Amino acid sequence: MIVVAGASGTLGPVLIPLLVGRGEPVRVVTRDPHAAGRKLSGVELVAGDVTRPADARRAVEGARVVVSAITGFASPAGLQAVDAEGNRILVEAAAAAGVEQFVLLSVAQASADHPMALLRAKFAAEQAVRASGVGWTIIRPTAYLETWLGLIGGPLVAQGKTLVFGRGQNPINFVSALDVARFVDLAIADRSFRGKVVEVPGPENLTLDQLVEITRAASGRSGHVSHSPRAVMRLLSIALRPINRMRAGQIAAALLMDTLDMTIDGPTVRAAFPSIQMTTAAVVAERLFRAPTGHLVQPTTTTGAH
């Protein structure tokens, strides 16, 4: 049994078909089985909140592998409660149940002192997983291309206009969720991935403004693009906290993404991922028009001391 927590987001719909194709039963644990059932098929859907110890214990019962893609980035519960504490609770339940492998979806540049709360919470989760006694693999992707395509490209195509938070000029490394899903599948199949951190960057660094232009070229829609000033973003990230903590956190994260170095050196990526066959522009075009990508990259890994 492979148990997946957090399969209703960007990663789940491309990961689940790979896991189902392995021939093992797959259980998806979700707070909303009805909504998850609209996206996923061929799996056992179980209602549960893995931030609750009793739910976590029921979720991992009989599991050989647990994959955690949970995140509180868009949850009212918050990042600390979900990404840090939720993963700690889940991996402790996995250890008690005798699970062989715990695969954690973390994020590139996660660290204890990172300015972004998400990366601090993911680093705390990594430490809990390392200390659990369960065989572990940590996957560290950069920003999901599909997520930002939906946030920026989606409104441009559907409504003819879009809003970019900040200047839109800060380069960011994007990776396709499909590539990340393939690395998760490989980490389960290949025991040499146990005790390793898998860094998963994408092939290019792009600004949000460049992502808009790629979307325009792929869709044939010009549309109107506006930018939210950084000063306004700072005010909103504070003013919205008592009203909508989730939205305030998203704006605060977007402000940091507009200023921090979120790039990966191009020649280094091409050397480490020699089988990249498609540019980000091609991936964007295919996500817009729902065509299969057919691209595959090979992961690089670091030891457990990373």
Q: Considering the domain boundaries, does residue 217 fall inside one?
A: yes
| pLDDT tens digits for range 250-262 | 788 888 999 999 9
Buried b (16+ CB within 10 A) or exposed e, 140-150: bbbbbbbebbe
Tell me the pLDDT of the chain averaged across its residues.
85
Based on the domain organization, do 114 and 148 belong to the same domain?
Answer: no
Q: Considering the domain boundaries, does residue 115 fall inside one?
A: yes
Model pLDDT, residue 249 = 79
Check residues 305 and 173 and name the one with the higher pLDDT.
Answer: 173
| Total of domains in the chain | 2
The domain that holds 250 is classified in CATH as 3.90.25.10
Based on the domain organization, do 126 and 211 belong to the same domain?
Answer: no
Model pLDDT, residue 269 = 54
Based on the domain organization, do 111 and 156 belong to the same domain?
Answer: no
Model pLDDT, residue 74 = 67
Based on the domain organization, do 134 and 225 belong to the same domain?
Answer: no
Q: Considering the domain boundaries, does residue 192 fall inside one?
A: no
Asked if residue 145 has pLDDT above 80, the reply is yes
Q: Considering the domain boundaries, does residue 289 fall inside one?
A: yes
| pLDDT tens digits for range 193-238 | 999 999 888 888 899 999 898 888 877 888 899 999 999 999 988 9
Check residues 7 and 134 and name the one with the higher pLDDT.
Answer: 134
Check residues 35 and 102 and name the one with the higher pLDDT.
Answer: 102
Based on the domain organization, do 13 and 98 belong to the same domain?
Answer: yes
Range of the domain at 207: 143-176+201-293
The domain that holds 24 is classified in CATH as 3.40.50.720
Q: Considering the domain boundaries, does residue 39 fall inside one?
A: yes
Q: How large is the greatest C-alpha to C-alpha distance in the chain, in angstroms?
A: 55
Q: Considering the domain boundaries, does residue 187 fall inside one?
A: no
